[in-house]
Structure 1
Amino acid sequence: MPPDAFGDRAARAEELGYDSVWMSETQHDPFVGLTAAALRTERVAVRTGLAVVFARNPMTTAMLANDLQLVSKGRFALGIGSQLQTHITKRFSMPWSKPAPRMREYILALRAIWKCFATDGRIRFRGEFYRHTVMSPFFNPGPNPYGEPPILVAGVGPMMTQLAGELADGFLGHIISTRRLLEEVTIPALRQAREGAGKSMEGFELHATPIVATGTNEDELRAAIRQAKESIAYYASIPSYAPVLELHGLGDLKDELYRLAGTGRTGEIVDAIDDHVLETFAIVGEPKEAAAKIWERFGGLATSIAFFQSGDLPPDALQPLHEELRHLAQRPPA
């Protein structure tokens, strides 16, 4: 969605009572879109979900995040992820290395740069991947009255998940996350990392970002389901996501998708996603039904739920889902 249109949509989402708006780095720069959103709103949180940080050096990201924190008056959160090696090296033409160690150093560099802005303007950050050792007053924006933006790290594997628990302010669940994955893999890894760092889970944010295929009529729902299957097929055919499939007893599907991916027959890859696989990794149904399924999957686990929407429904069309989900969240525990 173009940045100006995203600003309009964010303004309407705020009017309808949404708590946050998120923009991913896909066809447009999320920092530009969220700037438009921040300028059109006063209350909702604005968050990258996610920004591909290995496509940028830490200083660039730190400046962008600092400015968005200013523009939004403290409503910004920096959601970051590594992306895949092919995209980093062949789309962005940037170096690649083991993602977890590089991400660790990236986060440390961000915090060092923000500290430089907030204090005396001196920086002496030297790492294996990044070095930031010069900052003159002319280029230093100075202290941010709203403080540093929270850092939210996206991940699937145990190393990135543990890194998020140790160093970040929150974790971004992958769009194919399930309740089982969160309960058996993600949350234990986060808790272990927090305890190892001498921290508790209190105040740590866990954001669920499920694929939601919904619509106000059969045609919209059918189109959304097709897009949801395309998203699942894309991630399920990538080797690094194999443990997620295997956890759900879908190892045979993994092998079949790898075979089809090698032939380039994209349509057959999508057709391999049957209704069982679709319902395992996506939320499907008319808006109120989808809300109940979202709450069943993530209620009591996630601190917030952001829809990765299949289709392009405006906030008004999603309002029944939003209202029902808020109603479910406000019910007293059984």
Structure 2
Amino acid sequence: MLAGGGGITVADMAGLAARAEEAGCAGVYLAEAWRSGFVALAAMAGRTERISLGPYVLNAHARTPMIAGMSAVDLDELSGGRLVLGVGSGNRVTNESYQGVPVTRPLRKMREYVELLRLVTSARRGDRVDYAGEVHRMSGWRCQVDPVRDSVPIVLAATSPRMTRLAAAVADGIGLGSLQSAEYVARIAAECRAAAAREDFTVLMAALVAVDSDTERAREAARAAVVNLYAGKPHPHYDALLRSQGYEPVAEEVDGAVRRGDLAAARRAVTDEVVDRLTVAGTPHECARRLREYSDVDEILLVNVGGMRYEAGPAEHDARRALLASYEPLLELAAAV
């Protein structure tokens, strides 16, 4: 499950993680969007015992490999060796507009970033790490603590073909985005596993999930979630995913409507086929059936898009309560599958 949201507290997220563990979830992950990538996960570690925990994903432009690696070692220790470290190059808007950090040579950067993370997270007390790359450098750093595991699994977020190939080459797994059909994911997963030539290479994906007893209400929430990938902070890679899967007309209409400020028209442009094939929306039974179609994925992160409709609640307290309530059907779905 993917936890988090702009209207709930860190304590709320820790409670959701505990509920997710009770429901039988394999892991709980946190998008570094509304919240930072490690703090809430530390709170979740204190409320859980079994499930995997991790950022999905950590922004590599926001932290040096040294700081990210030390934080990962600390969280892995705190959780008893349950961290799955998801990293990615981040969204260009987040990096350049929000942080003022230019995005240059992302493929080279991520190759070196993952290599350095491995060195930092596997170093034992007294070990010295030196690294001279084209983007990243490290000299003279010595580890001051023994990690609880020989290595922390690193998952590289990838949506483009070149980043996908890089994930297979340097990471322990690939973190796929949302808005992908089961057939598309199956092909990418097969290609990655073949290229990695490792039996333990893992494939994770994040599914946009709207669970509701009213099928049409769930489908409308899914449509709004697709539009949300264009509105506010644009995600160009999702636009590319739509087009690469044969939905260029939908992408054109949604993008045009968002640029005009007509979000209602943008939602109408999201066709039934896009909802049916690229999201998971409907009753609990319908959603469970859809999730089973993604049989080639090791772990599916359930992204609660049903809660998005509560973002414009009349009062902060009511919005928070409604957002928390929107996770209930998601937890029930997780228990069912």
Partner of 1:244: 241
Aligned counterparts of 1:132 and 1:270: Cα–Cα separation in 2: 48
Equivalent residue pairs, number: 313
Q: Conserved in 2, the CA contact under 8 Å of 1:25 and 1:50? A: yes
Is 2:328 aligned against 1:322?
no
Deviations along 1:165-210, one digit per CA (max 9) or x if unpaired, are 11111111111121122233x124413531xxxx33x111111211
User: How many angstroms does 1:90 deviate by?
Assistant: 1.4
Aligned counterparts of 1:236 and 1:175: Cα–Cα separation in 2: 16
Is 2:180 aligned against 1:177?
yes
Partner of 1:302: 297
Deviations along 1:226-267, one digit per CA (max 9) or x if unpaired, are 542334555997544454223332122223334334434444
Partner of 1:76: 83
| Local SS of the residue matching 1:193 | helix
Which stretch shows the higher mean deviation, 155-164 or 175-184?
175-184
Aligned counterparts of 1:19 and 1:283: Cα–Cα separation in 2: 19
In the superposition, relative to structure 1, how do residues 267 and 141 fare at CA in structure 2: closer, same or farther (>3 Å)? farther
Aligned counterparts of 2:83 and 2:336: Cα–Cα separation in 1: 26
TM-score of the superposed pair, with normalisation by structure 1: 0.85
Partner of 1:150: 153
Is 2:189 aligned against 1:187?
yes
TM-score of the superposed pair, with normalisation by structure 2: 0.84
Aligned-residue RMSD, C-alpha: 2.5
Partner of 2:269: 272
Aligned counterparts of 1:84 and 1:239: Cα–Cα separation in 2: 8
Partner of 1:329: none
In the superposition, relative to structure 1, how do residues 307 and 235 fare at CA in structure 2: closer, same or farther (>3 Å)? farther
In the superposition, relative to structure 1, how do residues 242 and 41 fare at CA in structure 2: closer, same or farther (>3 Å)? closer
Unaligned 5+ segments in structure 1 are 326-334
1:1-334 matches, within 5 Å, as 1-115=8-122, 117-118=123-124, 120-136=126-142, 140-184=143-187, 186-194=188-196, 199-200=197-198, 202-216=199-213, 221=218, 224-225=221-222, 227-234=224-231, 238-296=235-293, 298-299=294-295, 301-310=296-305, 311=307, 312=323, 313=325, 316-325=328-337
Q: Conserved in 2, the CA contact under 8 Å of 1:79 and 1:152? A: yes
Query: Which runs of structure 1 show a deviation greater than 6 angstroms over 4 or more consecutive aligned residues?
Result: none
| Local SS of the residue matching 1:134 | strand
| Local SS of the residue matching 1:135 | strand
Q: Conserved in 2, the CA contact under 8 Å of 1:232 and 1:281? A: no
Partner of 2:316: none
> Using CA pairs below 8 Å that are at least 6 residues apart, which structure has the higher relative contact order?
2
Deviations along 1:103-160, one digit per CA (max 9) or x if unpaired, are 1011011112234x31533121111111111325xxx332112332210111111111
Aligned counterparts of 1:260 and 1:241: Cα–Cα separation in 2: 16
Q: Conserved in 2, the CA contact under 8 Å of 1:77 and 1:149? A: yes
Which stretch shows the higher mean deviation, 312-321 or 283-292?
312-321
Partner of 1:332: none
Q: Conserved in 1, the CA contact under 8 Å of 2:126 and 2:144? A: no
User: How many angstroms does 1:27 deviate by?
Assistant: 0.8
Which stretch shows the higher mean deviation, 84-93 or 67-76?
84-93
State the identity as a percent: 27
Aligned counterparts of 2:155 and 2:290: Cα–Cα separation in 1: 25
